[in-house]
Amino acid sequence: MFSASLHAQNSLDELFKKFNENSVPYISVEELRDLKKDGNLAILDAREFEEYEVSHIKNSLFVGYNAYSPEIVSATIKDLSTPIVVYCSLGIRSENISEKLKAAGFTNVRNLYGGIFEWKNKQNPVFDSEEKETDKVHTYSKNWSKWLTNGEKIY
């Protein structure tokens, strides 16, 4: 059912209306690029570890989704007002993790609109488990892969 409805979606906005609550503000790829230059920022990867190992945004902290632990985040990010950007493949799982961060008291949390797919689609670098730049992006499944238009799709 989930994958059948995915094919019916024509835009990210439609996809997010169906699967997200819009409970966490989005941040665009361009805004994240600008924030990364400033440096005072935590970027959290809310995908599964096998996805993170294939590629991730440089200097992001793996927090996972199914095995997410608020203790890991709290141990790493002490200041609850630190700007935090959470991403996943597109922005659905990251909204769920962002909600958990907000519930834990973090006050400056945003969800990357379009996730790592949009990051890569807009010509930004991603890095593998050895921190080498790669063109590969784990697309979670063949159904989700339609949203990645730049890069090598890995399932």
Domain with 121 in it: what CATH number? 3.40.250.10
Query: Hey, CA dihedral for 20, 110, 132, 126, is it positive or negative?
Result: positive
**pLDDT at res. 9:** 53
Range of the domain at 44: 2-154
Predicted confidence pLDDT, tens digits, the chain (155 residues):
344 344 445 799 999 999 999 999 999 999 999 999 888 899 999 999 999 999 999 999 999 999 999 888 999 999 999 999 999 999 999 999 999 999 999 999 999 999 999 999 999 999 999 999 999 999 999 999 999 999 999 99
- Rounded distance, CA 137 to CA 117, Å? 8
Active site residue 88: yes
Single out the catalytic residue among 27, 32, 88, 90: 88
Measured distance CA(14)–CA(92) in Å, rounded: 12
Using CA atoms, how far apart are residues 149 and 121, in angstroms rounded to an integer?
A: 6
Indicate the number of domains in the chain: 1
